[in-house]
Amino acid sequence: MASLDDEERTSTYDTVYDSLLTMPKHLVLAQATYEVHFTRHIVANNVWDYRPPRGSESFETILVGEIRPELCGTRFSAKGNHYMGSVFNPTLIEDKTRVKNVLVLGKPSDAPACFGDLFDNQIATLCDVVGQDKRELSGKNIQIKEWTAHADAGNTGSPDYIVIVTEPMYTTVRSAQSSKHSKGRITKKVLTERAAAAVAASSSSKTVEDFDFEDMDLASSLCDDIETDANSTTLSKDIANKPITTNDLYNPSVLPDYGGDLFKHVHAKLRQLDFRDVNDELIPPQDWYSQLRQGTLVMVRASLHAFNWDNRRVYQLNAHTVRVLLPSLSDIEERKPTILDPDSFKKRTTSEAAALVSQVVLGKRSRK
């Protein structure tokens, strides 16, 4: 007989599956059809935005999947997808550096077959877009980074994973000194307790293989120009009991792996990204790693983009909301700040076999 936990997990999968099938088809990635529900729109020579056929805003879609570990390409940390450079010439993270996280989603191992089919349909929709674009290349030799990935290093067969990129983690707020020469400066007034309570109440409304990190940094910086939420007005998060909103800012040190020689922030603050728990409540940054660890089933609201250079193209799924549907049963990973030593720059591998080989510890053997 199945345990209660197993029954609850199965019930959750069934609920999510049924919910997605009752949503409008054009909003669900597994049900959407390219050039019917969304089409390519050229924003600039090197930037493509995917939009509804008669719409002016980015096409937003809903997808689901289970968060895969770092071995599969997930980059969920204080340094995110930042390309660190080389041991002799490291690329430091400064106030203007764009840092985003990468979540690789896979098919849940314990999900019913119908849920697996739904995940495969999501990949099929994304592959349809890339497949049609490839046919338009007419033999041109262009390196393509797709929004899907393979479990094996040979990239054979159908893709296994979907790669999503979050919104920027850090932002800077103009200080009073930097705006002292601006016209029409407003002098701040002292707020009474009653007024402060009203401000807090008004701000509580809800506002979600081995990657080439250099390409991803370029794509992320281009995409920032077409995102609307990244530069919203922000408030300092310094009141313990104030309701959390996506306007809140934090000291980056609330992340346990923030710090070390890699970070050279001066004015940067950590943004409250639209990460939500099973109750649809915002997850504060200090709980991100425990709530969104590998094995967590999530629902993502994302938009689709592509970025072009002379000889390469990067497809990118930008996550605007990430909501936990089913918590992970995996252990919580210990996080520590990055130390700039040679080991930090070792090339990661997506090969599970390679990782297992390196984990074998041999004792000393005497010669006979």
- pLDDT tens readout for residues 107-119: 988 889 999 999 9
| pLDDT of res. 329 | 85
| Of 311 and 240, the one with more pLDDT | 311
Structure tokens at 41: 């729109």
pLDDT confidence of 365, banded at 50, 70, 90? very low
Q: How sure is the predictor about 343, in pLDDT bands with cuts at 50, 70 and 90?
A: low
Of 333 and 246, which is predicted with more confidence? 246
* CA separation for the pair 137, 338 (Å, rounded): 41
How is residue 52 written in tokens? 């509804």
Please indicate whether residue 3 or residue 258 has the higher confidence score (pLDDT). Answer: 258
Report the alpha-carbon distance of residue 49 to residue 47 in Å, rounded: 7
Cross-strand bridge partners of residue 270? 170, 250
- Residue 86 is predicted with a pLDDT of 78
pLDDT the model gives residue 333: 86
> Higher-confidence residue: 256 or 366?
256
User: Strand pairing of 312-326 and 297-308?
Assistant: antiparallel
**What was the pLDDT predicted at 176?**
36
- Residue 337 is predicted with a pLDDT of 85
pLDDT at 228: 36
pLDDT of residue 355 exceeding 70, the answer is no
Domain ranges, ordered by start, for the chain: 4-172+185-359
**Band of pLDDT at residue 123, cut at 50, 70 and 90:** very high
Confidence of residue 361 (pLDDT cuts 50, 70, 90): very low
Give the amino acid at 279: N
From 243-247, 295-299, 328-332, the region with the lowest mean pLDDT: 328-332
